[in-house]
Each structure stands twice: as C-alpha cells, then as structure tokens.
Structure 1
Amino acid sequence: MVLAAALALGIGAASAVVAEVKLVMVEQPGCAYCAAWDDQIAPAYDKTAEGQFAPLIRADLQMGPPEGVTYARRVNFTPTFILIDDGVEIARMEGYVGEDFFWPVYAKLLEENTDFEPALN
C-alpha cells in the first residue's frame, strides 16, 4: 500500500520503502550474552523477515541512545532490545537466553506492536 501510494505520487521505489521501525540492541563490552547473540542471531538477523522489517541499530550502554532515538525508560541490562518506531520506543526485551527464546518472543513483540506479519511456512 505504501509502495503503491509512493509510486502514484511519483516517488521512486527505492525511496518509497523506508523502515521506520528499527530494533536497537543496547550492548556493552564484555557482555557474554551480547556475544552469544552475536554468535547465534546476528549472522542471520538481516536475512529474516523480522530483520528486514526492523533493521538493527547497535548502541553502547554507556553512550546513551543513538541520535534521534528516545527510550521510554533507562536501560539497566545488556543486551536490551528496544523496538522503535520513528525514533520512539514502542516495546523492549531485556536480556538474551538463547535463540529458541529470542525468535518467538521477538516475533510476538513485533506482531503486538507493529503491522509486522510473519511469513507463513
């Protein structure tokens, strides 16, 4: 729908599909759970429907939110995954306990807070 509207207005397809929803991963050096996420999830993340819908942004815990991003509350744990829409937090997951937990919880977070529709197998 967005693409069709953009094309009708004469906006090129490349600029018509701009991800407003993003996933901020707040991390810090030495975080073992961040490293586990990097090993188990990161290599595939941008190839998944979830990753294409909500591209990943990384943020260092000590540096605060990335420019243009507002968190709803302070981040105390790493990793913390913050779902943002137009730079504003709409949901979060704190911690990482493994890929078997991450994917279903993250998919549910997307479904409940955005217009993400999971691919049917």
Structure 2
Amino acid sequence: MRRALSWLTLTGVLAVVLGAAVPARASELVMFERRGCAYCLQFDRDVAPIYQKTEEGRRAPLRRVDLSGGVPADVALAGPVRFTPTFVLVDEGREIGRITGYASDEAFWGLLGALTQQGAPNRP
C-alpha cells in the first residue's frame, strides 16, 4: 500500500512538472486598424516599436487586423468594432476587454494595465 502511494505521489509530481513545461496558449492583443488611420500611425510611432519588448507584449503579443477585412474567425468579440484603432485583449479566442481609440502612449499603457488586471489571465 505504501509503495502504491509513493508511486501515485511521484506520478502526480511528474504530471505537474511536465504540465508546467508545456506552454499555455497565450493571450493576444488584437489591434483593429484601417489604412490611413491617423491614430493607428501615432500608435505605430509611440508604442509599436517597443511593445513586444515589454512584459505586456510578452504576455499578450500584438496581432494586427485590418478592420475592412472583417473579424478573424478565431476571435469571438463581445460586440462590434466600429472605430480604429481598437485594441481587444483576447484569451483562447474570447474577448476579455478592449481599448477603443488611441490618445497617447501614457493613456494606452495605463488602460492596458487596468485591462490586464481586471480579468486577463496571468500567463508567462
């Protein structure tokens, strides 16, 4: 009986360790944009060059979508996207929250921080 318990304990520990080694499907930040969008261009100058180097960028890589092409089939939105840019935080294909518009890099980082803390999964 004791040997069976030791084996079960070892099996459980290995399952946890191996499970942790498999990366979970990451969140992503989907940016809906349109050609000629002045605020999208401002985002491109202010934030885009550094986004992937940040903690937020590692947790939720940026995916750009041209709104005129529609919503990707693998993204379930809570509502329609009407303005560009609109940044939609998505986890496993479902919208967690969004930022509509772009005013400045300070506003963007503040809103993204609030968005990720209100309900986004905390994944590496």
Q: Give the Å deviation of 1:5.
A: 5.6
Query: Which residue matches 1:55?
Result: 61
- Counting only pairs closer than 5 Å after superposition, residues 20-31 of structure 1 correspond to structure 2 as 20-31=26-37
Give the conservation status (yes or no) of the 8 Å contact 1:19–1:55. Answer: no
Structure 1 segments (4+ residues) deviating >6 Å: none
What is the number of equivalent residue pairs in this alignment? 110
Query: What is the Cα deviation at residue 6 of structure 1?
Result: 6.1
Structure 2, unaligned stretches of length 5 or more? Answer: 1-13
Give deviations 1:64-116, integer Å, cap 9, x for gaps. 12231111111100000001110111101100001011101111100111233
Among all aligned residue pairs of Structure 1 and Structure 2, give the percentage whose two residues are the same amino acid. Answer: 42
- Conserved? CA contact 1:22–1:83, under 8 Å: yes
The CA distance in 1 between the partners of 2:77 and 2:49, in whole Å, is 26
For 1:93, which of 93, 99, 107 is the aligned residue?
99
Taking a change above 3 Å as real, the CA distance of residues 60 and 6 of structure 1, as seen in their structure-2 partners, is: farther
SS at match of 2:72: coil
The residue that corresponds to 2:75 in the other structure is 69
- Which structure has greater helix proportion? 2
Q: Pairwise CA RMSD of aligned residues?
A: 2.0
Corresponding residue of 2:119: 113
Identify unmatched segments of 5+ residues in structure 1: none
1:8 to 5, 18, 21: 18
Compute the TM-score of the two structures, normalised by the length of structure 1.
Answer: 0.82
Partner of 1:41: 47
Measured after TM superposition, the shift of residue 27 of structure 1 is 0.1
1:8–1:74 Cα change, 3 Å: same
